[in-house]
Amino acid sequence: MSDLAAAWTKLETAAQGARDRPIASLFDAEPDRLARLTLEAPELFLDLSKQPWSSADLDIALDLARAGGVEAARGRLFAGEVVNPSEDRAALHTALRAAKGADLKAKGEPVSAEIDATRAAIAALAGAVRSGAKRGATGQTFRAIVHIGIGGSDFGPRLVWEALRPVDPPIELRFAANVDPTDMAWALAGLDPAETLVVVVSKTFTTQETITNAQVARAWLRAALGQAGDAHLLAVSAAPDVAQAFGVPADQVFGFRDWVGGRYSVWSAVGLSCAIALGAEVFEDFLAGGRAMDEHFLRAPLARNAPVLLALAHIYNRNGLGRPIRAVVPYAQRLRLLPNFLQQLEMESNGKQTDSHGAPVTRGTAATVFGDAGTNVQHAFFQLMHQGTDIIPVDILAVAHAAEGEPASQAKLLANAIAQAEALMVGKSQAAVRAELAGQPQALIDELAPQKTFHGNRPSSFILLERLTPRALGALIALYEHKTFVEGVLWGINSFDQWGVELGKTLAVAILSELEGGAAGVHDPSTTSLVTRLKV
Tell how strand 105-106 and strand 109-110 pair up. antiparallel
- CB–CB of 225/137 below 8 Å? yes
Gap between the Cα atoms of 202 and 275, Å rounded: 17
- CB–CB of 461/49 below 8 Å? no
Sign of the dihedral defined by the CA atoms of residues 162, 342, 391, 394, in that order: negative
Please tell me the predicted confidence (pLDDT) of residue 464: 98
For residue 83, give the amino acid letter: V
Q: 37: Cβ–Cβ under 8 A, 6 or more apart, which residues?
A: 47, 48, 49, 51, 58, 309
Q: 110-118: long-range contacts at Cβ-Cβ below 8 A with a sequence spacing of 24 or more?
A: 111/80, 111/257, 111/259, 114/257, 118/254, 118/255, 118/256, 118/268, 118/269
Residue of 100, 412, 455, 505 with catalytic role: 505
Gap between the Cα atoms of 187 and 183, Å rounded: 6
CA distances from 254 to 118, 240, 280 (A): 7, 8, 15
Gap between the Cα atoms of 284 and 470, Å rounded: 8
Active site residue 422: no
Active site residue 523: no
Please tell me the predicted confidence (pLDDT) of residue 290: 98
Residue of 12, 43, 348, 481 with catalytic role: 348
- CB–CB of 321/20 below 8 Å? no
Burial (CB count <10 Å: 0-12, 13-18, 19+), residue 105: middle
Mapping DSSP onto H, E and C, the string for 298-346 reads HHCCHHHCHHHHHHHHHHHHHHHCCCCEEEEEEECHHHCCHHHHHHHHH
**What does each of the 536 residues of the chain score in pLDDT, given as a tens digit?**
799 999 999 999 999 999 999 999 999 999 999 999 999 999 999 999 999 999 999 999 999 999 999 999 999 999 999 999 999 999 999 999 999 999 999 999 999 999 999 999 999 999 999 999 999 999 999 999 999 999 999 999 999 999 999 999 999 999 999 999 999 999 999 999 999 999 999 999 999 999 999 999 999 999 999 999 999 999 999 999 999 999 999 999 999 998 999 999 999 999 999 999 999 999 999 999 999 999 999 999 999 999 999 999 999 999 999 999 999 999 999 999 999 999 999 999 999 999 999 999 999 999 999 999 999 999 999 999 999 999 999 999 999 999 899 999 999 999 999 999 999 999 999 999 999 999 999 999 999 999 999 999 999 999 999 999 999 999 999 999 999 999 999 999 999 999 999 999 999 999 999 999 999 999 999 999 999 999 86
Gap between the Cα atoms of 390 and 370, Å rounded: 14
CB atoms within 10 A of CB 448: 15
How far apart, in Å, do the first and last CA atoms of the chain sit?
60
DSSP codes joined into one string, 126-156: HHHHHHTSS--TTSPPP-EEEEE--GGGTHH
Among 322, 331, 317, which residue's Cα sits nearest to residue 393?
317
Please tell me the predicted confidence (pLDDT) of residue 211: 97
Q: Which DSSP helix (H) or strand (E) runs through 465?
A: strand 460-467
Polymer length of the chain: 536
Mapping DSSP onto H, E and C, the string for 407-455 reads HHHHHHHHHHHHHHHHHHHHCECHHHHHHHCCCCCHHHHHHHHHHCCEC
Please tell me the predicted confidence (pLDDT) of residue 536: 67
Active site residue 505: yes
Q: 391: Cβ–Cβ under 8 A, 6 or more apart, which residues?
A: 321, 323, 457, 458, 459
Three-class DSSP category at 253: strand
Strands (E), 70-117: 105-106, 109-110
For residue 356, give the amino acid letter: S
- CB–CB of 491/68 below 8 Å? no
- Torsion, Cα of 236, 336, 472, 483 (10° steps): -80
